[in-house]
Each structure stands twice: as structure tokens, then as C-alpha cells.
Amino acid sequence: MKRTVTKSIVVGCLAVLASVPVTVAAGGAATVAPDDVAFTDLTVTAPVSAPPGDPVRGAEVFVSRSLGNCLACHEVTVLKKELFHGNVGPSLDGAGDRWSVAQLRAIVVDAKKVFGPEAMMPGFYSNHVGLHVDKEHAGKTILTADQVEDVVAFLVTLKE
């Protein structure tokens, strides 16, 4: 069953997004390969794909059980209409105030590089996802580079 985020929830977040600077690679650079993502001081300053992320699509990825499935572990008040919010990870209310865009991107790309190998959160744009990956998924990331930028664009709208 496909779930979509209602427009009214995301529209409320977009007013905040207008004041957030978005960096786009000069000249519309190509997608950065997962192994080529540059981490500097636990941040990823450069976008992993050229188009700016879209917070509406990011919210859809965030709630999708077949993509990010972020609600399995995190609670987000503006998404209360969704059936289940996890409590394994921290609430992401105010994430746009707590972390910079570069920090959020690093966490989504590969939380284990930010929080350590014991972190429960997977690397959503990493080829290093575990020991016993089934052949169908070997060498594939959980999210595409565009989806990472979309999720980051959504997260920066979550203000206190």
C-alpha cells in the first residue's frame, strides 16, 4: 500500500525551507558515487546529486516503507497522520535547528561514519551495509543520490 504525505503537512514546512541556503554543484555536476562521497569533520558539505532536493518528495521517501522507512525508528510530529512512529531513534522534530544541512546529509548518507559502527541507523547511500547482503541487493544503495537530497531538504524544514 503506497502512502503519500498530504500537501498541507509539507506546505507548512516549506515556509521555513525558503530561508535555508541550498548548495548546488557548479555546472550541474553528475551524481557522486557512494564511495566517492567526501566526509569532512563528520559532515558532507557537497550535495550528492546536482538538482536541489525537494522536501515534498523527501517527506514521501521518509514515510515510504519500501524506501527510507524512517518512521520505523523516528517520530516527526508533522507526520502524525501516518500510522506508526518509532522510538528507537531520536525524534526528528527540530532537526533543521539541531543539525546543519551538511550534518544531516552525512547522517543520511552513512550514519555509521558519523555516530560510529555501533549505530543502528543504516547508511542509506553507502555500499558498506553489512556482512550478509543478499545477491539481489549487493552493491546497491538503499536510496538514490536524488532521494538523499530530497530527504535532507525535508529534514531541514523540521524546525522547533
CA distance 44 to 107: 9
Half-sphere exposure (CA, 13 Å, Cβ side) for 80? 3
Domains of the chain, start order? 7-23+39-155 (1.10.760.10)
Segment 48-66 shows an average pLDDT of: 93
pTM: predicted TM-score of the whole model, two decimal places: 0.79
Given pLDDT bands bounded at 50, 70 and 90, which one contains residue 104? very high
For cell 500537501, what's the residue?
7
Pick the closest to residue 14 from 81, 92, 91, 78 (CA basis): 78
What's the first-to-final CA gap in the chain, in angstroms?
31
pLDDT at 26: 38
pLDDT at 136: 75
Highest mean pLDDT among 21-25, 29-33, 85-89, 144-148: 144-148
